[in-house]
Structure formats: structure tokens, C-alpha cells
Amino acid sequence: MTTAEVTRGLGGPATGPVPQQSPVQGVPPVPGVPQHLSPPPYPQSTDHTAPAVTSDPAVPAGTAVPTNSVGLTAPAGTADPAGLVGGAGGAESLSGPASALPGQPAAFSPELARRDVPILHRLVNGHPLVWLDNGATTQKPRQVIEALAGFYGSANSNIHRGAHTMAREATEAFEAGRAAVARFLGAASPDDIVFVRGTTEGINLVAQSWGRANLGPGDDILVPVLEHHSNIVPWHMVAKETRARVVPVPLRPDGRIDLDAYADLLSMRTQLVALSHASNVLGTVPPVREMTALAHRYGAKVLVDGAQAVAHFPVDVQDLDADFYVFSGHKLFAPTGIGALYAKPDVLRDMAPWQGGGNMIESVDFTRTTYAPVPHLLEAGTGHISGVVGLLAALNWLTSFDRDAVTAYETALMAHAQQALATVPGLELLGSAPERIGVLTFTLAGHDPAGIAEWLDRDGIAVRAGHHCAQPALAHYGLASAARASLALYNTPEEVDKLVASLQQLQQAG
């Protein structure tokens, strides 16, 4: 099956989640950001047409070839690297390339995304890279790479406390990133957004700040079995301190949360429900809105781990009515070490600081400390400023595409992958929930997961092998480890077919 067929929705029946509508399809320019922090003109990429073929088919026109496996140079024609807030297609529009209607996102095909991502055009072991490890981290578009270079090359400064020009500019860019995250999540205000290193730190922040103050002996924290360790371990830690207890919510055989068991476990003892918006090992997309509404009937708060969800479909935290929502930038085409925590304003205002230092204070002497208001209260020290700049660029890039079209494409690609993998003798996919993202965790008879990953790597195909930081979910299927291929918007049916062909060859080789 070709990319064009999947793009037209011929990949099979829909198996992905119904997109949750967000009030914002694109992130518009932020007023007040200095002009030199806006993206420079890139004549070779003002639309998403395919680049000219070069002498090396693995390298698109306009992309300098890395001198080693990690080296990158700026694309040809880049006069100024300071593209801090650009979306796909360069400076012409932050909500889409020039071919889109004003204020409207561009149409989508995977080629439009692939031409922006330099690493997808490298060779691995003599083969074009097939990156199917998106659940672990996504690859970065050049707009993000150039935004980081631009910040350090022309705008590097600390934020909030400086009176000089560059401090003001860096602060404006940082707070523009906060506003963009708020719009991306459908939050009411940028003040509802706290920057963290990623989902793990965000959950730990909630556990240590909100959890210590609100959990006590006999209280229940409900956590589904499908959760990532980062949404289990912090609750174990705070439960031990507060003498609360972590209560697992079981799964059904197909990988869905057992909603009947969930309803039975909820009680007036339940203080928190911690659940993922999409599973990193099964791909399951739980009915978060309905589960949240039921938890709220008992007065419980709900924390949603959005790490695996935000890159695949629109999110509206107000529609979900989540009390907390957390995600990581590096799973959203942004740099590592940056993420965001959303919390409802009334909840956020009652949270005590979990770290002390600079940036989170109003005044300090040796008798007392007066704290700054949220969100700065929870952002002690110098934040990951360049990471926020990169996150802003990633959000602009992702939202420059029609998000519903992206979701539809990924759903069709997932269906094609399921059908294709079914042709591999001895391969068993884990989970068959009707609503899921493109996560394909599998076992192959006669082969351990690490050996599968090593074999695929010889063909330039990157997948993950191990317990995926979700040991309880694998234990549900009687497993300690498995292989996982995870899809993103830039993957193609041709890449899926390469995966399947390599696995078939592995079985034939014995």
C-alpha cells in the first residue's frame, strides 16, 4: 500500500480515537515578540512541495549533509539562524505555509512533514532510516533545530530579572512559549501553565506539592494497570509518606481499562485518579472525559498523563475537565528536557512550592520568604529557556497542519500496519482496544525482543525493546518484555512494509 492510498483513508477501518476538538488549530504570532526573533525567510521552504532530487536520494535538496552521525549544518539559503517562533513553511505564516488560506492550517500528507525533518534523510547501516521509535522520542523538524541555534546565536540571556534588551527579548520569547502551550491545550490562561523538564517531573511536582498536602491515611489513589512507571512510582512514594494507598484499576483482555471495576473502586476515600490519555505500550486511549466526570462525583482530582497523546490528536483540557494535565516536549517534536504541567487555577493557587530558590520569590531575608504568584512559584531557578523556544517552534510546526487530517492519516496508517503485521508468522500484537494511537507492541515466536530490535537495526529500522517502563501492563499479558514500533505523522506505509518484510526475513532465517 502506498502513502497516497493511506492518505486517502484506504488503510482500513478506523481504529484510532475520535479527535477531541481544540478551540485553536494553529498558534498565531505573539504580539510583542521582537522582529529579529521571528523566523527568517527560507526561500527553499515557503511551501510544502517536494524538494528537488539530489545526487544522494537519502538527502533532500537544501539540506547540508552531516559530517558524522550527529553533526548538522544549517540548510542552504539560511542567512540568519534566529528562527525562534516559526512554524512549518518558514516566515510567511505561523499557522501554515503560503498555500493555506489565511488563518487556516495547511492540508496534510507525510511528505510535507518529512521534508522538514533532517534526520529522516540519513542512512543507518547503509539503509534509509525508518524511525519507528516515536513512543520513546520524536525526531525534530529543522524549524526546532534552527530555533535553538537562533536563540543561542542571537538572543541568549537569562529571563525575568534583567533590564537589558536581550533579557527582555528572552523573557518575551519564554512567555510567548507559555502562551502557546496554553492555547495548544485549550487552557483559559497562560498562568495555568508551569514549565517542567517533562511528564515525569510534572507528575512528581503534583505528587510532592498537591499530594503531600491533600493525601492522608486511608486515602486512595486509583491508577490503571496500563500506566507508565512515571505515573505509578511518584504515587508509591507519596503514599508511603502520607499512609495513603495506590489502588490498581484492572484491564480487560483487549487492553481497555475495566470501567466497571473502575466505578466499583471509586469511593469517598478516592482523592486522586492518575491515568494516561494514551498508553505508551498498548496505544489504548481511555475515555478520559467520562472517567474524570465519574471521579469528580466523589470529589476526587484527576491527573492526566498526556505524553503519548498530544502529538496524535487535539487536546482541550477544559473540555476534559482535568485537574492536572502533563506532557513532554520531546514526544511532541520539541527538545528534550522541557515539558508543561497544566492545573486548574483554583488547584494551582493552593499548591505549595516543591523547590526553593531564585525566580519563585518576591522577597527574601533571614526571617522569612515571600513567594511569587503561580506559575512562577513552581519554577524555581533558571528554567530551560532554549527548550521553551524549541517547544514554541514545535507547536507552531505541528499546528501548521490540519490536526484532524493528521489524526485521520495516522488512524489509516495504523490500520494498514495491523493488517500487514498479521502476515508475519508467529507475530502477536498486544492489545486491541478500538480507540488507540499508533503503538504496535508485539512478540515474535522464537525470538527475544532485544534480538528483534538488533535484527531490524541492520535494515535501518529503529524500534524499542524491553519493558517500556510499563511492567504492570506487560505483566497483564504474562510478559516481561516486548518489541514496540510506534508511529508518527511523518511515517509512511512504505516504511511499515519495510518493517514487515524485515520481520518476515527474520522468521525465515530462523
Kindly list the catalytic residues. 469
- Specify whether the CB–CB gap between 293 and 263 falls below 8 A: no
How wide is the angle at C-alpha 432 spanned by C-alphas 428 and 435, nearest 5°? 145
Spell out where 430-506 has E strands.
439-444, 461-462, 464-466, 482-486
Q: How far apart are the first and last CA of the chain?
A: 27
Q: How far apart are alpha carbons 60 and 121 in whole angstroms?
A: 7
Residue 267 amino acid letter: S
Query: CA nearest 501: which of 443, 451, 461?
Result: 461
Q: How far apart are alpha carbons 400 and 291 in whole angstroms?
A: 31
Q: What cell does 105 get?
A: 492550517
C-alpha distances (whole Å) from 403 to each of 55, 205, 312, 372, 398 are 34, 30, 8, 36, 8
- Specify whether the CB–CB gap between 462 and 130 falls below 8 A: yes
Q: Cell 528572552 sits at which residue? A: 170
- Specify whether the CB–CB gap between 264 and 314 falls below 8 A: no
Are β-strands 324-328 and 339-343 bridged in parallel, bridged antiparallel, or unpaired?
antiparallel
Start-end of H helices in 155-219: 165-185, 199-206, 212-214
- Specify whether the CB–CB gap between 147 and 84 falls below 8 A: yes
3-class secondary-structure state, position 186: coil
C-alpha distances (whole Å) from 371 to each of 13, 167, 311, 378 are 54, 22, 35, 10
DSSP readout, 56-97? Answer: STTS-TT-PPPSSSS---PPTT-S-----S-BTTBTT-TTS-
- What are the phi and psi torsion angles at 299 (to 5°)? 80, 10
Q: How far apart are alpha carbons 215 and 210 in whole angstroms?
A: 8
- Specify whether the CB–CB gap between 48 and 89 falls below 8 A: yes
